[in-house]
Amino acid sequence: MNGNEHEHVIEVTDLRRVYGGGFEAVRGISFSVNRGEIFALLGTNGAGKTSTVELLEGLARPAGGRVRVLGHDPYAERAAVRPRTGVMLQEGGFPSELTVAETARMWAGCVSGARPPLEALELVGLAGKTGVRVKQLSGGERRRLDLALALLGDPEVLFLDEPTTGLDAEGRRDTWELVRRLRDAGTTVLLTTHYLEEAEDLAERLAILHEGRIAAAGTPAEVTAAQPSRISFELPLGYFVGDLPPLDDMGVCGHEVDGRVVRLRTHELQRTATRLLVWAEGAAVELGRLDVRSASLEEAFLGIAREAAEGVGTRTKEYAA
Ligand SMILES: Nc1ncnc2c1ncn2[C@@H]1O[C@H](COP(=O)(O)OP(=O)(O)OP(=O)(O)O)[C@@H](O)[C@H]1O
């Protein structure tokens, strides 16, 4: 963060959203997104991702806090913000009888300065489907049509709500490639996703939401680094975890034993692995199925969700991403 407010294309401060009946879906979150950055919002089902993105899109008024997109309030100053943003909702909801080309033309008619519809369809790989009715498209093709429509206005800021849900592996990779190309051309992208590899691969920074609060935020590497690495192995018959050097001395921060299988957690992977291997060598012990791995974003996510659910060390506050 460079403190230069003009670089923050999206700024969210202590944002709250309360639905009728008093349910608080977004409970005071803060983050900012820089120009030309891809930022991912992750979270378990019902964490508040869509509720947040809708506030950024100006579709609802926050119950508290502040949102600025391109320096404007997207709800109160919708006319200033809307033409400069592209929105891909979770459910596009287009008339299913229209063809792909008709849908794109109809949509382009509502966008000032729209790029040619065929160009948008080409970007998402649907140029060969112009004559196909929307109802005949596969789920993945519909998501790509949603994305083409979001791109029609050549937006400065793109909101993508689960852009690759329903896409096969190739379609997902193609979409990532397109999002990266858009970013390289200067577009700022905020996306929500359930695919952790998508966030790890695409996003410069991310925030993990849990029950309306930010549970962790930073670069994928920063979020992952906060989680322990894992070492697992199987001890030979007749050996027990108590035969290892004292776990504290090995830098182990947690362990589980399941029969002869031992799983160690550590924030000092090199130290723990070295002590373990030196011990095994000295004791002439063959460690079966030895597996040493750094935490992945997926492990970080599951760890955060588990901690939050257990209420243990919940880090659900004051993350300024
Ligand atoms: N219109 C509404 N009225 C009342 N509660 C709502 C409404 N819309 C959403 N919620 C609740 O707000 C919470 C957050 O929902 P939201 O759709 O923002 O979550 P999400 O993180 O996008 O989830 P998912 O990953 O399942 O799409 C959920 O508990 C949901 O049930």
148 pLDDT higher than 80: yes
Asked if residue 248 and residue 212 are part of one domain, the reply reads no
299, pLDDT greater than 90: no
Pocket (CB within 6 angstroms of ligand 1): 19, 23, 25, 43, 45-51
- Residue 321 inside a domain? The answer is no
Domains in the chain: how many in total? 2
The pLDDT, as a whole number, for residue 314 is 41
Cα of 26 vs centre of ligand 1, distance in Å, is: 9
Checking if the pLDDT of 312 tops 60, the result is no
Question: What global pTM score does this model have?
Answer: 0.82
Atom of ligand 1 nearest to the CA of 43: 21
> Is pLDDT above 70 for 5?
no
Residues 278 and 218 in one domain: no
The answer to the question of residue 312 being in a domain is no
Closest Cα to atom 31 of ligand 1: 46
Residues 203 and 252 in one domain: no
* Atom 24 in ligand 1: residue holding the nearest Cα: 45
Do 169 and 210 share a domain, yes or no? yes
pLDDT at 287 over 70: yes
Is the pLDDT at 88 greater than 90? The verdict is no
With pLDDT > 90 as the criterion, what percentage of the chain qualifies?
Answer: 64
- Write the pLDDT tens digit of every residue in 216-270: 899 998 888 878 899 999 999 999 999 999 999 999 999 999 999 999 999 999 9
Whether the Cβ atoms of residue 200 and residue 194 lie closer than 8 Å to each other: no
> What is the rounded average pLDDT for all residues in the chain?
89
Q: Is it the case that residue 320 has pLDDT exceeding 70?
A: no
Residues 319 and 321: their CA atoms lie apart, in Å, by 6
Domain's final residue, options 224, 242, 257: 224
The closest of 242, 206, 209 to 224, measured between CA atoms, is 206
* Cross-sheet strand order for the sheet of 85-88: 85-88, 157-161, 188-192, 38-43, 205-210, 213-218
For 61-65, 91-95, 146-150, which range has the lowest pLDDT when averaged over its residues?
A: 91-95
Task: Give the Å distances, CA to CA, from 52 to 164, 272, 300.
Answer: 19, 41, 22
Residue 248 has what pLDDT?
95
Residue with CA closest to ligand 1 atom 9:
51
Q: Residue 304 falls within a domain, yes or no?
A: no
ipTM of the complex: 0.97
Pairing assessment for the beta strands 85-88 and 157-161 based on DSSP bridges: parallel
217 to each of 136, 173, 266, how far by Cα in Å?
40, 24, 21
315 domain residue, yes or no: no
Could you tell me if 135 and 255 lie in one domain?
Answer: no
Measured in Å, residue 141 CA sits from the centre of ligand 1 at: 25
Spatial separation of the C-alpha atoms in residues 30 and 320, rounded to whole Å: 5
Q: Do the domain assignments include residue 319?
A: no
What is the SS3 assignment for 3?
coil
For the domain that residue 176 is a member of, what is the CATH number? 3.40.50.300
Minimal-distance CA residue to ligand 1 atom 26: 45
Q: Tell me: do 15 and 126 sit in the same domain.
A: yes
In a domain, 313, yes or no: no
Predicted confidence (pLDDT) at residue 309 exceeds the cutoff of 80: no
Is a pLDDT exceeding 50 seen at residue 1?
no
Q: Which of 50, 53, 162, 211 to mutate to test the pocket of ligand 1 (most atoms within 8 A of CB)?
A: 50
Ligand 1 geometric centre to CA of 212 (Å): 10
The terminus-to-terminus CA distance of the chain in angstroms comes to 8
Determine which of 65-74, 92-101, 176-185 has the lowest per-residue pLDDT on average.
92-101
Q: Are 79 and 172 members of one domain?
A: yes
Q: Are residues 136 and 261 in the same domain?
A: no
Q: What is the pLDDT of residue 91?
A: 67
Q: Looking at the DSSP assignment, which residues form a beta bridge with residue 121?
A: none
* CATH classification of the domain holding 247: 3.30.70
Domain endpoint, select from 224, 243, 275: 224
Same domain, 214 and 246: no
Residue 141's pLDDT is what?
Answer: 87
**C-alpha distances in Å from residue 293, one per residue of 200, 216, 229, 235, 248:** 17, 21, 6, 18, 19
Range of the domain at 273: 228-294
The closest of 189, 198, 2 to 88, measured between CA atoms, is 189
Of 224, 255, 280, the last residue of a domain is 224
Distance CA 87, CA 63 (A): 22
Does residue 250 lie in a domain region? yes
Residues 181 and 252 in one domain: no
Residue 307 included in any domain: no
* C-alpha span between 249 and 271 (Å, rounded): 9
Residue 60: alpha-carbon gap to chain centroid = 22
pLDDT (mean) for 3-10: 68
Q: Give the number of other CB atoms < 10 A from CB of residue 258.
A: 9
pLDDT in tens, 26-35: 999 999 999 9
Report which protein residue has its CA nearest ligand 1's atom 5.
19
Q: How confident is the model at residue 165 (pLDDT cuts 50, 70, 90)?
A: confident
Burial label, 317 (beta-carbon count in 10 A; 0-12, 13-18, 19+):
exposed
94 and 15 share one domain: yes
Query: How far, in Å, from the CA of 207 to the mean position of ligand 1?
Result: 17
For residue 164, count CB atoms less than 10 angstroms from its CB and return exposed for 0-12, middle for 13-18, buried for 19 or more: buried
- Model pLDDT, residue 77: 96
Are 257 and 209 part of one and the same domain? no
Q: Is the pLDDT of residue 313 over 70?
A: no
Using pLDDT thresholds of 50, 70 and 90, give the confidence band for residue 97.
confident
